Structures are given as structure tokens and as C-alpha cells.
Structure 1
Amino acid sequence: MQANHLHEKTRLGPVHLKVSELDRSVRFYGEVVGLRELHRASGRAVLTVGGDESPLVVLHELPNAIVMPRRTTAGLYHFALLVPNRGALGLSLRHLLTCGIHVGHSDHLVSEALYIQDPDNNGIEIYADRPRETWRRDESGRYVITTDPLDLDGLLEEAGDSPWEGLPAGTSIGHIHFHVSDLLEARRFYIETLGFDLMASRDSAMFVSAGGYHHHVGLNTWAGVGAPAAADDAAGLAYYTLVAPTPEELERTTARLRQAGIALEQDGKAWFARDPFGITVRLTSEEAIPRG
């Protein structure tokens, strides 16, 4: 592994969201998405999946938060919950269709995905990966990621008659996708400084990861080149979490950020940093992740 690259075992940790009404959001994430409330205190609710005590999503109530129209600012496009198999995705599809909400969907070749929005317009993807050995590469060696029609009937058939009991154990934060105002600036921060590898790209988007995954972070200019940063009092992403496998790998990452002149704020065994578009990442290591 090169010194300026993230370690191959780097992964995403909990996603923290600002919401305008905590009770409403907890109900939505429980009844619609299928997450379980782990605990709640001081205007914050920690959510996970059945059979697990590790936080996945943390909701922070911001009373009277501004709910922005989609694709108007830099910031969260969606965060993605990775379910362990296609049957689990079929169960989610069947359940979402009974909820009476709009469900977007796409076949990306590397994965199959469903898309919904929470009450504050935060985008959510629920997806299942195809086996890694089936992921195709183009002539440049980058993954082919498409937006083909999804086989909805096949997914529903995969679910069979199994009851929906929420998202299953083994669900994780698979990736997160952002609107940014400039892809060249995004490349400098996410690849040249933070240390992700470029896995796929097109004119208005690119996808980066650690360890050869199809993407841990998506970056696009679909809100417009030059899109402004989201306001602090807007609902949306508070911050996302990047987890290094060891404290030593965390130190290597923070050293690269310091060398590039990126301001860091310490929080115990973790560090906060902002990208050029006002998007905040919490950098930590496995040993510092809470387990309940």
C-alpha cells in the first residue's frame, strides 16, 4: 500500500443526520426503512439493525431546521445502507411498496439499488452488491457502473413469502454520495489528500473507494457547478464517519490532511475535518467505535 492511500480495510462508520422533528424521523426510519432505535438522549436518537448494537445512523434534532429542495446545494445526495443479500433487498422493496412512498430504483451492474427520501429530504439508498468477481471494468481498468432498469419482479420473487422484520443483521453503511461544486477540487481533497482511489468516473460524477470496493464515496455536480454549501441550520448531513483499521493508519491519514493545510478538530480519539464544500467527516479508528 502506498503511503498516500487509505488502508484497504478502511470503511465507513455511522452517518449523523440533522432532522427537524426527531419523533417523526425515528418513526420513519423504524416503520419505513427498518432500523431499530438503540437509545435516545438530548435530542439525539441512535439507530441500528436487529441483532446488532453498533450504531448505523444517528439523528440529531435541529428544531425548525430548513428543509431544502433536492439538488440545490452541495452536501448529502444520499447515504447507502448495504444489505447482506438480494433476498433482503427484495424484502425491503416489497415493504417499501406497501408504504405508499415513491421508490426509485436502478441496476448499477455492481449492485442493485432502491432510493427513497426521509421527511427532511435526506436521500437514502438501500442496496445489495453483486458478487465482486462479476464487477466489470472498462478499458482504463475502472469499474463499469450503470443506471439500468432494475428487475423488480425478480427481486420480489427473491423475497418469497418471508416476513419483513426490518433491515437484517449484517446491514452496514456501504457508501455515501455527495453533491459538490467542483469535481477537480473534489479530486484534490478525496483522492490526492484524503487518499481514496478513483474507481469510476463520468463527465459530472466520480466514485472513489479504499481496498478496491466499487465506491465508498460518490461525488457529483448534479446540483450545479458552483453549488453553494448547505446552511448550518438546514436539515441534512451533520457528518459521516471514516474508520481506519488502526490508530496508526488514522495518524497517517490525519498527517496528510495537516500537510495539505486542512484544519482538524480533535474529539477524543477522533478528528473532524471539512472538505472544500462544507461537508464534515469524522476520522476515527476501529478501537474508538462505540459498540452500543
Structure 2
Amino acid sequence: MSAAVLPSALKLGTVQLRVANLDRSLNYYQDMIGLRLLKREAGFAELGTADGSALLRLREMNRSPRMPRRPAAGLYHYALLLPDRESLGLVLRHLARNGIDVGQGDHLVSEALYIQDPDGNGIELYRDRPRSEWTYDLEGRVVMTTDPVDVEGLMEASSGLVWNGLPDGTVMGHIHFHVGHLEQARQFYCEVLGFDLTARYGRSALFVAAGGYHHHIGLNVWAGEGATPANEDEAGIDFFTLLLPTKKDRDELISRVRKAGWPVEEGQDMLRDPWNIGIRLIAAG
């Protein structure tokens, strides 16, 4: 456990992505994913669930996107957590009906579906198993793996249900990044921000969380050791949001980050990780 610990009630908030064509992305996110358009202004759109909970913000790049250079650090996928297995099964039915290629993985703690938006931004849609069913290794870390999903079981769980978009109760569950150096990532996310290390995947990936969750952030070097940030005119992530329970929690985190030598932008409470990924710090209360 890191010396500095984030509040156990920490949650993830809105993620902002760069996209090439806002209209195209809005059509995809509404028709295929089932998010609702909450707000639109020049070059930006905000999407979420029917109850008004904002999950995703899209920023249209103001010039034609460059071909991505690889390897690059940045977004691997962001993950929308659905409230139950029936909802995930209904998503699978909807994606299959619309001819969307879907990857999948049973991670023991969760069942997950994987797709990409029109710009190649990775998306995971998943449901958690109850924490009472999670297992832990001898070091107390969550045991995760990647097995085939019980697709027939998901289909059966959603039999007879009607698709009406992503349900209320869907939240931003976690985010997974390509980084350039795994140990540097651990130091920043654990020792500076205060996440706990919850799991490792060999020498190529690690997972960190607050409050005993299996992971809020995934970090990997699958784009190659030394990968540098994606260009600003490539699709990808601008920032993600940490929702701190109180203003006191947020202010303490900002103070800790600054003492560690990391600048925080005044007014926006925004800092950047070693690969230029923005992190907004918001007091949820």
C-alpha cells in the first residue's frame, strides 16, 4: 500500500476524447453504444445516461487527423460499468444485431465486451461480479485473468428484454492506458496520487485502485518500452476525472501532488501524468 492513500469512496467521472468528426461519433455513440446526448456546443458534445449522468465528452479536432504514429502512450480503453448482467447481455445482443465486431474476456472479477469507436478509441463494456466472489493471491492482490465469456449465458440473461440504450446506473468503471515505463507509472499513480497496487500481469501491466476495487486504472507497456505520448492531432484521450468525496479530499490531493513537484493548473484543478494524460480533480460533493 502506498504511503498516501486515496479516499475509499473515490469514483471516476467524465472522460474527454479527441475525435475527427463529431457528427459521426455522435451517431455511433448514440445508436451503437446507447448513450444519450446531454449537451452540444461548438466542437464539443457531452453524453451520458437518461438520468443526466455525464460519462463522456467528445472534442472534435479542428483539423484533419494525422495518421497515428506507433508506439504511442495514451488510451488503451475506457470502461463503462453496467449495473447488472442482464444489461450487459442486452448490450451484446444489440451490438451483434448491428454487426459490430466484439471482443470479450472473463476476468474472474468481471465479464467484459470490447469494441472501438470510429476513431479507434478503445471501449470496454462490463459488469462486475460481487466482491464476495473475488479471489486474492498470497500477497493480497486481486486475481484476474482472461478466459472466454459465457456468451450463451449472457444472451439467456437478457432474453425477452428490450434495448433502450445504456441503463441508469451505468458509470465510468475504469480506464486503461499504454505507458512508456511501468515503474514510472507505478510511482506516479501510487506514490504521488495515492492509488493502491491491486494486481500485476507479469512484467507488462499493473492495476491500481482505491477502496479495494479490482482496478480504477490499468497501466501497460504493450505499445513498447519508452512509448511517448500520442500527438494532439491524433484521436485519443484529453483527460479523465477523479471524483473526490469532499472538497477537503480534493484540496489535500492537490497539495500532495504539488509537494511532489507536479504542477496543477489553477482554476481547472488539472494535472498531467508523465505521458501528458490530463487528470481533473473534482469534489463530488
TM-score, length of structure 2 as denominator length:
0.96
Could you say which residue in structure 1 is the equivalent of 2:43? 43
Could you say which residue in structure 2 is the equivalent of 1:284? 282
Matched, 1:169 2:168: yes
Letter in 2 for 1:284: I
Using a 3 Å threshold, how does the CA distance of structure 1 residues 96 and 132 change in structure 2: closer, same or farther?
same
1:66: how far off? 2.9
Distance 1:56 1:276 in 2: 24
Deviations 1:191-247 (A, max 9, x none): 000000011012210110010000000000011111111111111101000010001
Deviations 1:58-78 (A, max 9, x none): 111113123537x73100000
Matched, 1:148 2:147: yes
Letter in 1 for 2:113: L
3-state SS in 1 of match to 2:168: coil
Distance 1:101 1:107 in 2: 19
Could you say which residue in structure 1 is the equivalent of 2:273? 275
Residues 68 and 121 of structure 1 are in contact (CA less than 8 Å); yes or no, is this contact kept in structure 2?
Answer: no
3-state SS in 1 of match to 2:180: coil
Instruction: Report runs of 4+ in structure 1 exceeding 2 Å deviation.
Output: 65-69
TM-score, length of structure 1 as denominator length:
0.94
Distance 1:157 1:224 in 2: 40
Could you say which residue in structure 2 is the equivalent of 1:290? none
Number of aligned residues: 283
1:272: how far off? 0.7
Could you say which residue in structure 1 is the equivalent of 2:33? 33
Q: Which runs of 5+ in 2 are unaligned?
A: none
State, as a whole percentage, how many aligned pairs show the same letter.
Answer: 52
1:100: how far off? 1.3
Residues 84 and 127 of structure 2 are in contact (CA less than 8 Å); yes or no, is this contact kept in structure 1?
Answer: yes
Could you say which residue in structure 2 is the equivalent of 1:22? 22
Matched, 1:206 2:216: no
Distance 2:210 2:38 in 1: 29
Residues 111 and 126 of structure 2 are in contact (CA less than 8 Å); yes or no, is this contact kept in structure 1?
Answer: yes
Q: RMSD between aligned alpha carbons?
A: 1.4
Could you say which residue in structure 2 is the equivalent of 1:103? 102
Letter in 1 for 2:131: R
Distance 2:17 2:67 in 1: 12
Residues 14 and 54 of structure 2 are in contact (CA less than 8 Å); yes or no, is this contact kept in structure 1?
Answer: yes
Could you say which residue in structure 2 is the equivalent of 1:194? 193
3-state SS in 1 of match to 2:174: strand
Could you say which residue in structure 1 is the equivalent of 2:73? 74
1:152: how far off? 0.5
Could you say which residue in structure 2 is the equivalent of 1:8? 8
3-state SS in 2 of match to 1:206: strand
1:108: how far off? 0.3
Q: Which runs of 5+ in 1 are unaligned?
A: 288-292
Deviations 1:52-94 (A, max 9, x none): 112110111113123537x731000000000000000000001
Residues 39 and 45 of structure 2 are in contact (CA less than 8 Å); yes or no, is this contact kept in structure 1?
Answer: yes
Residues 67 and 121 of structure 1 are in contact (CA less than 8 Å); yes or no, is this contact kept in structure 2?
Answer: no
Letter in 1 for 2:57: V
Could you say which residue in structure 1 is the equivalent of 2:128? 129
